[in-house]
Structure 1
Amino acid sequence: MSETRAHPQSEGPTMAAQLTPTAPDPACRVLGLRERKKQRTRDSLVEAAHRLFLERGFGRTTVDEIAAAVDVSQRTFFRYFANKDEVALAVMAEAENFFIACLRGRPAEESPLQALRASIVQAWRELAAGRPDGPSGVTTALELMQLIEDTPTLLAAHLRRITEQERVVAGLIAAREGLDPVTDLRPKVMAAVFGGVLRSAHLAWSAEAESESATGAGDSGPEGMIALIERHFDQLGPALAGDWRR
């Protein structure tokens, strides 16, 4: 049975970033410390969950074991996450949100496909480099891809999130191009094609990583993933408009 409990909405961005050197009220600094402590607890729960999932498997790990690994109560766990699915996908969700932020910041003169391709490569590179204002754990995200593919409940949750991400991407593309996504299908088609290319690249990376773990050869890290994404995008044009029989 799934271990699930309702929990409050996210408590928003850290107040620490809102402090200024001239802030006279010490209560503001106390609030900043409290928010940072909450973020540390959340990060610790994510790290402990991922370690246990990779060591024992998703199904054999309980919420109580994750909480105990961080020395907090089950009640504290449910303050941050609704269930095991959510904590398992936390790093992936943060990476996907970071990609959306990268897409929002791409130059307006780029075509939709150029902006999408540049955004995903930018996101992977900056996360791999440990960008201070981006989510960490890109290596963990790569490791979790195989866990997700092997766990039906996680895969279902991950695919639901991908579907929602495609909706967001279509909306952003439509806004960039000044289109109505209800009457013009191109943004939705582009978002779906982009999602398919990424999923193909992720599956190829998982297969290569599994093979390399047995042989000890190859690059299954972030640069290996970026190279696979680039190769898949290089084939998108020929696949859609090329003469396959030449």
Structure 2
Amino acid sequence: MLSEKDGGVAVETTGLRARRKRRTRDALVRVALELFTGQGYERTTVDEIAEAVEVSQRTFFRYFSSKEEVAFAVQDLMESHYVAALRERPAGEGPIEALTAAVFAAWDTVEEAVSEIIPIDLHMRSYLMIESTPVLLAAHMRRSAESEELLAGLIARREGLDPAHDPRPRVAVAAFGGVMRAAGRQWGRGGDASVEAIRTVTEEWLAHLGPALAADWRPPSTPRNA
């Protein structure tokens, strides 16, 4: 039987092991993204990533199943913060209002979490790298579709709806996701790669979501057949 002292040592050893694993995982993410953004995703090999971190290829695969998984590691972290923020939104908010508020609530918490792994500027460059790499852009669209299913389920539960028979949760999430992607592309075409810049663009574009879904875009004084 472990004494109190022995138990303390065991807990400390477990905590140290967990921290070492976290440091190794974070180093793999950081180095991989530096290589991807510096020389290209397809030109970078798992062996290069592992060698730069001074671990074996086998160690890399203990943490990630593929280059794609490590490329999206920070995106996955951001999504987890967003889902958590959406779950915490007040029940009285409408679907689009809750989705929008959750974006900015998540950004208020995720920036610190991201910067513990990689510099923010590297994260922003990685976003642009994903958008400009066909194989990663295809993976991004696939992952976005999976994410939209999750979000539609959350919205349906908030509204007391059955998404199998009521399309509105999926419609709302699809519209919202489309605006987010369009805002990201608009930001990517600009010269400012900062978090503040993408946040400003996103705020501006999301502000148009409700009006864009209105039945008639024309001013009341403009006839429809004009």
1:96 has 2:79 as partner: yes
Query: 2:163–2:169: 8 Å Cα contact kept in structure 1?
Result: yes
Distance 1:177 1:236 in 2: 20
- Structure with greater helix share of residues: 2
Q: Percent identity?
A: 49
Name which of 188, 193, 207 aligns with 1:234.
Answer: 207
Q: How many residues align?
A: 216
Q: Which has the larger radius of gyration?
A: 2
Matching residue of 1:141: 123
* Farther-moved stretch of structure 1 (149-158 vs 139-148): 139-148
Once residues 228 and 110 of structure 1 are traced to their aligned partners in structure 2, the CA distance between those partners, rounded to angstroms, is 23
1:123 aligns with 2:106: yes
Q: Is the 8 A contact 2:183 2:201 kept in 1?
A: yes
Kindly provide the amino acid, as one letter, of the partner of residue 240 in structure 1. L
Matched ranges for 1:8-23 at <5 A: none
Q: Which residue of 1 aligns with 2:59?
A: 76
Q: Normalized against structure 2, the TM-score is what?
A: 0.88
Query: What is the aligned partner in structure 2 of residue 107 from structure 1?
Result: 90
Q: Mind listing any 5+ residue stretches in structure 2 that lack a counterpart?
A: 220-226
1:223 counterpart residue number: 196
* Aligned-partner SS, 1:183: coil
TM-score, normalised with respect to structure 1 = 0.81
Question: Which stretch of the first structure deviates more once superposed, 39-48 or 156-165?
Answer: 156-165
The answer to whether the 8 Å contact 1:98/1:123 transfers is: yes
Task: For 1:135 and 1:58, locate their aligned partners in 2 and report how far apart those are by CA, in whole Å.
Answer: 19
Aligned counterparts of 2:195 and 2:69: Cα–Cα separation in 1: 23
